[in-house]
Amino acid sequence: MKENPIMRLAVRWNLPFMVVFALYTQTHGELGPGGGFQSGVIVAAAFFLYGLVFGGAEMRRVVPRWFTDLLAAGGVLLYVGTGLYSMFMGYEFLDHAAVMPSNPGGAEPWGMTLVEYGVGLTVFAVMMTIFNEITEGTNPEDNQTGESGADTEFGARA
């Protein structure tokens, strides 16, 4: 699909809209269906589409492995850090009243938002890592040894 200009243009135009929709899903998760998991999957799907059209090597250039590793660790740290902060403030783990002790009812949305952003970052990073591990080395142009291990872009053998 690398040579198809219509697909390339469609992906480039739609990628920002998919990411904005994921942010909408993330921020409105407590009001309706959505949240961290769904938004992480939507952003990952946008980059999957980019990788399918432009190739796995190009996608790994745009979203390198070190970046997904950093996001996965940061997402888990944000989730766990929110809970540990509650414990250090004298509350139970993930008791969001610790975020704003003067207004415990108003603290709930803030604490839940932090947790959901942690989930979203982690899900995106793990999904990207899975995609990279599946597609890495399946494209003959990506193969460093020069031996073609696959007949098509994603490893289907004839």
Query: What does the pLDDT look like over 53-69, one tens digit per residue?
Result: 998 888 889 999 999 99
**Is 99 strand, coil or helix?**
coil
**Each residue's pLDDT tens digit, 35-54:** 889 999 999 999 999 999 99
Does residue 106 register a pLDDT over 80? no
| 72: phi then psi, degrees, rounded to nearest 5 | -60, -45
- Predicted pLDDT of residue 140: 58
| 113: phi then psi, degrees, rounded to nearest 5 | -65, -45
Q: Which residue has the higher pLDDT, 29 or 124?
A: 124
**What string of DSSP letters covers 47-92?**
HHHHHHHH-HHHHHHHS-HHHHHHHHHHHHHHHHHHHHHHHHTTS-
Residue 148 banded pLDDT, cuts 50, 70, 90: very low
The rounded Cα 157 to chain-centroid distance in angstroms is: 30
Residues 6+ apart with CB under 8 A from 11: 49, 50, 53, 54
Average pLDDT, the chain: 83
- The two three-digit tokens of residue 98, written as one number: 């610790």
**Is 157 strand, coil or helix?**
coil
Q: Give the count of alpha carbons within 13 A of 114, CB side only.
A: 19
Report how far residue 14's alpha carbon sits from residue 53's, in angstroms, rounded to the nearest whole number. Answer: 13
- Predicted pLDDT of residue 30: 67
